[in-house]
Structure formats: C-alpha cells, structure tokens
Chains A and B, each alone.
Chain A
Amino acid sequence: MIAPHLPILQVVIPLLAAPICVLLHSGRLAWLLTVAVSWVSFAVSVLLLGQVMDGGPLSYELGGWAPPWGIEYRIDALNALVLFIVSGISAIVLPFARASVEREIESERVYLFYTAYLLCLTGLLGITATGDAFNVFVFLEISSLSSYALISLGRDRRALMAAYQYLILGTIGATFILIGIGLAYMVTGTLNMADLAERLPAVSGNRTVQVSLAFLTVGICLKLALFPLHLWLPNAYAYAPSVVSAFLAATATKVSAYLLLRFLFTIFGVEFSFEAMQLGVILSTLAVLAMFVGSLVAIFQEDVKRMLAYSSIAQIGYIVLGISLVSVDGLTAGIVHLFNHAIIKGGMFLALGCIFFRIGSVQLHDMRGLGRRMPYTMAAFVVGGLGLIGVPLTAGFISKWYLVVAALEAGVWPLAVLVLASSLLAVIYVWRVVEVAYFQPVPDDKAAAKDKATLGEAPLSMLLPAWVLIGASIYFGLDTSFSVGVARAAASSLLGLDLAEIGS
C-alpha cells in the first residue's frame, strides 16, 4: 500500500520531522528524531532506486491533480541516484553529528540546528524528486534559506559573514533560476518538466526561450559554484560547523549539478542546449579553468577546510567537463564523479571534523605530527586524498578514467591531458597535509602538553562515519557495477537512448 507513495514520502517525512524538532525543544531528542528520519529517508531512496532500475520511471501526482496541471513528482534513474546520494550521506553524517554539534553549537540552539538541517534535507530531496519546474524553485529556496542558517551557526564569527555572502549570491542565483523558469512559462504556458520538454522544441527560435536558457544556466552554475561563480563556496565551507561542511559539500553542489543536467538535457534538449546555443564550449572552458584555478588556489591554503573547499571547486570542474562532452561516456563520467566525489569529500570533511573535535583547529601548522596522535583519522584523510588525486583502486580513479576515455572518444585529447595535469596539482595539496601530519614533529609547547587527555582519536561515533565513507570510496573504486551501472542508465536516458542499444 505504501509503495506507490514512496516519491512523496521521500520528501514529506523530513518535512514533517522539522516542526516536530521545534516542538521537542531538546537537543538530544531532536538528534534522535533526525537520525531516525534520515535512515528512513535512506531506506525510501533505496527502495525507489530499486523500483526505477527494475520498472522504469515513476510518476506521482499531488492532490489528485493530473499532470501537467498539478504538481508531478517524477523519479528516473538520474534523480533516484541523486536521492540515494543525498539521503545516504545524511544517514552516515548524522551519527557523527551528536558529539560534533555538542562541541560546536550552543546547547540551547541545538534543536534549532536539527530543524534547519531537516529543512535543508527536505529542500535538497524535493529539488531532486519533483517534476515541476516551479516546485524546483520552491524547494531550492527551502534548502538555501536553511543552509544559510546552518552555515551562520559556525563557531567562528566569520561564519556570519560567510553565510551573508552566500545569502546574497545564492539569492541572485535563485532569482536567475526563477526568471528563467518564468520566461519558459511565458512562452509555453506550462511548468511541468515533461510538458515543457514537449513544447519547447517548437519554439526554439524564440528569443525568450534563448534568454530563459541563459538565465537558468547562469543561475544554476551559481548554485553549483562553477568557476567563476564560486566565490561564495570557500568561506561557506570553511566557517560552517563541521557536520554542515561535510553534508553540504557532499550534497548541495551535487543537487545543483543534477539541476543542470535536468534543465539542459531533459527540458531544453540536447539539440537546443548544445547545438543551437553552443553551451558545450562555454561549459567545458569554464570546467577546465575550474579544475586548474581550484586546485592551484587549494595549494596555497593554510586552512585545510578552505583547501578542501577549493578542491571541491576543481572537482565540480570535472563533473561539468563530463557533462559538456554530451556523449554517453561523458555523461557517465560526470554522473559517476558526482557520486564518487560526494563520498570522498564527505569522508574527508568528516575526518577534518574529527581533527577539529580534538585539537580545535584545522590550520595546517596545528596539524604537525597529527599522524602519530590520531593515526586512524589521518589515515582516513589520506585515503580520501588519494581518491581526490585519482589513484587506482579508489573511486576517484574510476571517474577520471571514464572522463579521459570520454575525452579521447570525443577526439579532444587535449582535454584528457588537462584532466591528468590537473590531477597532479591535487597531489601537491594532498601532499602538503601528509608532510605536515607525518613528517613534522609533534609540537611540544604548553598548549599541547596541557590537554594531554584530549590527544587521542576522536570518539568512535565520529571516526566510524568518516571511515564508512572513506571505505565506500575504496569499495566503489573496486566494484563499479553499481555506480557506473546506474550512471550509464541515467546518461542514456538523458540522451534519449535505449540502454540496450548501446550495450553496457
């Protein structure tokens, strides 16, 4: 009886839990509820993914109003995978959250933290699940507003400034998206994605439609933090509480990447987006710039959280580069990297959260000799770093492999060279951390001597989630049948091909 309602339950369960958190008015109970809800969401997303892979896209109409008039939730391979990523990361991050949040957030605000967290989760899941363009904007605002609040809860006072900066830029992005949706609605008179996709090709010569695509692309790229629209991201990730950095870094930009795919491929269509409007050239240029600028700036960061944030900008470059190739292999590479990067970056931010929990800092010079004091945490960080570089046997290798293959197949070998060259830059910034943590002596100043008691590993409730994600990044580097299989199915459905035709 419950099975046909799964698409809506995915979104409504966290939405219902958010006000209950306010009513509970207790940090501990709110955490318990949030964990329970997250795991239920994860279970729902697993069931949805199973249904979609077996039986094709699902459609759910809200309020008994048939699409295209009513709001429709539509789940296909692509958004089932993104739902799986978002709810999965949330389910793993939350056990970590209890100790970390107690340390970093004032106790009377903890229940509000979890309320905002649940709303953010609702928003991200909603953007992904819905098949209605205006509904996308509504959920985008829910997730954005709550993430501004989450970021501003960081202990550093600069978190307020970072949240404000993100608020301004995020609002501009959301406004652009709304203008884009409005213009498309003006021409076609519909907001349903499938209906838009049917009507837009007939009016593709219309200037309004072209402007609509331009607004949407810029708006989504702002939320995606694609170079040069990335300015909000480093501060937001660096000053947010550890849990928030891990959750947002692993999910928020991934959902934006999903939106880019959905609007460019499903709604406007490949012909219009990439042939008439030549977006491929623009996107691949910006992606290559992001890969190099992000990695280069990351090398010079003293704050390791900021370093990972800049590395995220570079990794978004790889995702967009895969998308801009407009082939099954390119899209597969982009989607696989979306999945792998969520796992790797989530795991690394969690490891950093453990470090912050113990030494109260994530500055590079405070991490001297940490390899001996927190061996398991640092090992997790280093294995994650290997994934970012793309060393074989890690998930990062798989994405880069597919990306290089796709570039070669498209006949643009310079892109393949650039991907490899930029990976070398990742070696440098990961190595800087390794050098400081393993090859420099433990500082024996008074501060270190004073808190001798705190100089161990982080509690298991924090270390374990970090290792689950890092372990997953190795697992998906060895067994790619799940990640690449779903990504290939999603890629071929985006290009409108039958999976059987191209083989797998």
Chain B
Amino acid sequence: MRHHIVLRVVAKLLIPLILLFALYVQFHGDYGPGGGFQAGVIFAAAFILYAIIFGLESARLVVPPTIIRAGVALGVLLYAGVGVASLLLGGTFLDYSVLAHDPLHGQHYGILLVELGVGITVASVMIAIFFTFAGRSR
C-alpha cells in the first residue's frame, strides 16, 4: 500500500468528514431525513474505508474487537434501557413523554437516546461483519 499515495491522502481527508456527516445524520434524524440506522452505516463505512486502504491490522488497532463487541451490546441496552426507564417513571414501555418535566422534551430526549442506541449497535455490527469476513482467509 506504500505507493497508493493518492488513495491514502484522499482517504485521510475523507474519513473525518464521513464521521462528521454520520454524526449529522444521527442527531438531525428527528428533524430531517436520517436516523440511527443510516448514521450507523455511514459511521461504519468510515472504518471500513480505513481498513481497505490501510489494512485490516491497523484497523483492528483503531477499533479493537472488545470495543466492537461492547458497542453491539451497549446500543441494544441503551434502547431497551430507555424503555425500562420510562416504565419506571410511571409511563408504559417506551413512552418517552414521562422522561422529562414536560411531554414535549420527554419525546425529544427519548427519540434521541433510542436513535443513539440504534446508531451504536448498527455501526458496531457493520464493522464486526466486515472484520469477520475480511479476516476469514487467515
């Protein structure tokens, strides 16, 4: 990969922007098009691009398998946790209205947290799938 200088420079320029765009899609999801799933895929795409250009070994150093595994679990836990929190606060499961002092803010926080959970799990799963298949030949 030493001689692919154009690829490496362009990738280095693009990866931060891809990550930034993923975060935009993530947190703007409740006002415009987007949301956790799309953001997670875009976020993972940045890591997959990095792995393709700089090799699987260096990509594994950036995101160790332990972190990916924790990400897969934490996202689901966050989603379900929001549901349980709303249940404990006196609403029904996933009733965001009880999460804050008034229903409007409650709905807002609820959807943000839930979508964040989706984003974390989707990104982690996408990276995990890529690593699993890319690492098969070894």
Chain A residues engaging chain B, CB cutoff 8 angstroms = 5, 8, 12, 15-16, 18-20, 22-23, 25, 60-64
Contacts and interface: CB of A to CB of B under 8 A. Distances in A.
A63 B73 contact: no
Given A22-B72, A60-B93, 18 more contacts: A8-B93, A12-B80, A12-B84, A15-B80, A16-B81, A16-B84, A19-B72, A19-B73, A19-B74, A19-B76, A22-B69, A22-B73, A23-B73, A60-B92, A62-B93, A63-B93, A64-B95, A64-B97
Q: Binding site of A, secondary structure by majority: helix, strand, loop or mixed?
A: helix
A164 B77 CA distance: 29
Interface string B79-93: 011011001000111
Nearest to B93: A8
Nearest to A19: B73
Contacts of B97: 64
A19 B96 contact: no
A12 B77 CA distance: 11
B70 interface: yes
Interface string B52-72: 000000000000000001101
A5 B74 contact: no
A49 to B, nearest CB: 20
B39 interface: no
Interface residues of B, number: 19
A241 B57 CA distance: 34
A27 B10 CA distance: 44
A316 B70 CA distance: 41
B76 A18 contact: yes
Contacts of B73: 19-20, 22-23
Closest 4 CB pairs of A and B: A19-B73, A64-B95, A22-B73, A63-B94
7 contacts: A16-B77, A19-B80, A23-B73, A23-B74, A62-B95, A63-B93, A64-B91
Contacts of A62: 92-95
Contact of B80 (A16, A22, A23, A60): A16
Given A8-B87, A19-B72, A22-B69, A63 B95 contact: yes
A63 B96 CA distance: 7
B97 to A, nearest CB: 6
B80 A64 contact: no
Contacts of A18: 76
A18 B72 CA distance: 11
Contacts of B95: 62-64
A122 to B, nearest CB: 10
Nearest to B72: A22
A325 B95 CA distance: 43
A10 to B, nearest CB: 11
B135 to A, nearest CB: 16
A23 B94 contact: no
A459 B39 CA distance: 50
Contacts of A63: 92-96
A60 B94 CA distance: 12
A63 to B, nearest CB: 4
A22 B80 CA distance: 15
Nearest to A16: B80
Most interface-central of A5, A20, A60, A64 (chain B CB within 10 A): A64
